[in-house]
Amino acid sequence: MARPFTPKVVTANDLTQGDVVYFTAQGSWTREHEQAELFEDEAHAQLCLLNAQSQGDIVGAYLADAQPGPNGPQPVHFREAFRAIGPSNYAHGKQEDATHV
Partner 1 sequence: MYSYTDFDEAFVRNRVTQFRGQVARRIDGSLTEDEFKPLRLMNGLYLQLHAYMLRVAVPYGTLNSTQLRKLAEIADKWDKGYGHVTTRQNMQYNWPKLNDVPDILDALADVEMHAIQTSGNTIRNVTADHFAGAAADEIEDPRPIAELLRQWSTDHPEFQFLPRKFKFAVTGSSTDRAVTRAHDIGLRMVRNDAGEPGFEVIVGGGLGRTPMAGKIIRGFLPKADLLPYVEAIVSVYNLLGRRDNKYKARIKITVHENGLDRIQELVEARFDTLRVQFGGIDQTILAGIERQFSPPTYIPKSVKAFEVAYKSDPVFRSWADTNIAEHKAADYTIVTVSLKAIGQTPGDVTSDQMRALADLARKYSHDELRFSHEQNIILPHVHRGDLADIHAALKSVGLATANIGLVSDIIACPGMDYCALATARSIPVAQAIASRFDELKMEHEIGPLKIKISGCINACGHHHVGHIGILGLDRAGVENYQVTLGGDSTETFVIGKRAGPGFAYDEIVPAVERLIMAYLDLRTSEDEVFLKTYQRLGAEPFVDALYPKQDQANAA
Binding residues for partner 1 (CB under 8 A): 13, 15-20, 56, 59-60, 76-79, 82-83, 86-90, 92-94
Q: Give the shortest CB-71-to-partner 1 separation in angstroms.
A: 22
Q: Name the β-bridge partners of 13.
A: 20, 59
Angstrom distances, CA of residue 20 to CA of 33, 42, 43 = 9, 22, 24
- Which residue number, 25 or 50, has a Cβ lying nearer to partner 1? 50
- Which residue number, 19 or 41, has a Cβ lying nearer to partner 1? 19
With a CB cutoff of 8 Å and minimum separation 6, the contacts of 67 are 7, 73, 74, 76
Q: Give the shortest CB-53-to-partner 1 separation in angstroms.
A: 9
- Which residue number, 1 or 78, has a Cβ lying nearer to partner 1? 78
Q: Give the shortest CB-76-to-partner 1 separation in angstroms.
A: 8
Comparing CA positions, the residue from 11, 20, 14 lying closest to residue 93 is 20
